[in-house]
Amino acid sequence: MCKENTLGFLSGGGHSIVWRCSTCRYDEKEPLPPTDKKILYLDQFAFSELFKLKSGSRREDKLTEFWQEVDVLIHRVVHLQAAVFPHCNIHHGETVVSPWPKELREAYEEIGGDMRLEDTGEVQLREITEFAQAFIEGRDPTMKFDVDDILRGNRNEWLPNIRVVVNVNYDQFADGTRKRREKTGNSVNNLMQAWRERDLGFDEVLEIELGAYSDSRIGALNDYRQKYSRAEAEGDVMEMLNLDMSPISRELAMLGRLFERVGIPEPNHAAVRDQFWQWNRNREMPFGRLLAYMFAALAGQVKAGRKKGVSSGFMNDVEAIAAYAPFVDAMFIDKECASLLTQGRAGRELTYRSRIFSLSNRTEFLDYLRELNADATEETKRYARIIYGLD
């Protein structure tokens, strides 16, 4: 080192900040303060509102001031290393059908960084695996809700001051994704009509949904076999590959590996599988339980006179809640899903880690973000000013 007093900021991120001498190019690393970031899930509509706000495409309305303050607070929360806002497969699917897929993805990746939650289907398969193991071992299922287990990326690294953007063309996925969304939305609306015709309410639908594990698997398996036979007969290799990645196919593969590992002969796999599917303890799976209560709450609204159907993206929202509410610290979701989750019996009987926010309690959400900002130490603020230019 030349011993000149010319060290200046070079880069920051991970667990250290790097200083470099402008005279001799000597580098010196300094450790950054440790962090313990909260995990907040933002619904796709929230990311869309923030994107439109920053791009200037959002029309002025009574919520403009709210979204402006959210934008400022999230910017500070992220750069003060108080929280991360990871994205997931639900965001990716919703982005594909957006009018601005590339720009919207860049917007939520700017907020969430490289943090990504495990796909909702993977989270559900984790639960099924634990319950299947408990069934085989004759014990109680035990679930651990450590968010780091389902988070891709190191939660407690400082964000780098440089972000690399990769261009991706989403056009090829848009039509298929849009059709799947519409199909699932129509399925829920048809189900609501069936509840209406049968005069089913919360209690009846909750019991149906909690007890539907075996029937849903048998139905999915029969559907899988029919589609696979048709694809095989037509020589449709891509369809066969897609079916092999379907939830029921992956569950069967998991069960097969588990049965083999504990020494159950292959000819007995189907019988043991069916016994597991019929196990009464499956009613306790967190993913299925959250789904069941939200559907039951929806049925309660239908019985009370609700005529309006659900949006095509409704099931995406419900799946995200069922997967992540037990793990993350807070979720900002749409008003409809928030009401299904927090009101009536669902609000009294469900337990999960996440605090639930929506536009219905938006003031509380702002207070929560302010609290996260206020908790930052002076040392953290100093490094945030150096690395990110935070005011």
Q: What confidence tens digit (pLDDT) does each residue in 250-307 have? A: 999 999 999 999 999 999 999 999 999 999 999 999 999 999 999 999 999 999 999 9
Amino acid at 177: T
Q: What confidence tens digit (pLDDT) does each residue in 33-55 have? A: 999 999 999 998 898 888 888 88
CA distances from 295 to 177, 206, 348 (A): 23, 7, 15
Give Cα 62 to chain centroid, integer Å.
Answer: 28
- Per residue of the chain (391 residues), what is the pLDDT tens digit? 566 667 888 888 889 999 888 778 888 889 999 999 999 999 988 988 888 888 888 889 999 999 999 999 999 999 999 999 999 998 887 776 666 667 777 777 777 767 899 999 999 999 999 999 999 999 999 999 999 999 998 999 998 876 554 455 555 544 555 567 778 878 999 999 999 999 999 999 999 999 999 999 999 999 999 999 999 999 999 999 999 999 999 999 999 999 999 999 999 999 999 999 999 999 999 999 999 999 999 999 999 999 999 988 899 999 999 999 999 999 999 999 999 999 999 999 999 999 999 999 999 999 999 999 999 999 999 999 999 888 8
Q: What pTM value is reported for the model? A: 0.90
Report the percentage of the chain scoring pLDDT > 70: 91
Q: Give me the sheet containing 355-357, strands edge to edge.
A: 83-84, 38-42, 330-332, 355-357
Q: What confidence tens digit (pLDDT) does each residue in 217-238 have? A: 999 999 999 999 999 999 999 9
Q: How far, in Å, CA of 162 to CA of 108, rounded?
A: 16
Residue-level pLDDT at 220: 94
Residue-level pLDDT at 307: 94
| CB-based contact 80:376 (threshold 8 Å) | yes
Query: Which one, of 190, 207, 192, 204, lies nearest residue 302 by Cα?
Result: 192
Six token digits for residue 323: 């997967």
CB neighbourhood size of 342 (10 A): 16
| CB-based contact 273:129 (threshold 8 Å) | no
CA distances from 254 to 89, 247, 286 (A): 21, 11, 19
Residue-level pLDDT at 339: 96
Give Cα 146 to chain centroid, integer Å.
Answer: 14
Residue-level pLDDT at 271: 97
What is the DSSP secondary-structure string of 313-340? Answer: THHHHHHHHHHHTTTSSEEE--HHHHHH
Q: How far, in Å, CA of 99 to CA of 105, rounded?
A: 11
Characterize the bridge pairing of strands 83-84 and 355-357.
Answer: unpaired
| CB-based contact 282:131 (threshold 8 Å) | yes
Q: How far, in Å, CA of 116 to CA of 323, rounded?
A: 13
Query: Which one, of 154, 140, 117, lies nearest residue 323 by Cα?
Result: 117
Backbone angles phi, psi at 355, to 5 degrees: -85, 135
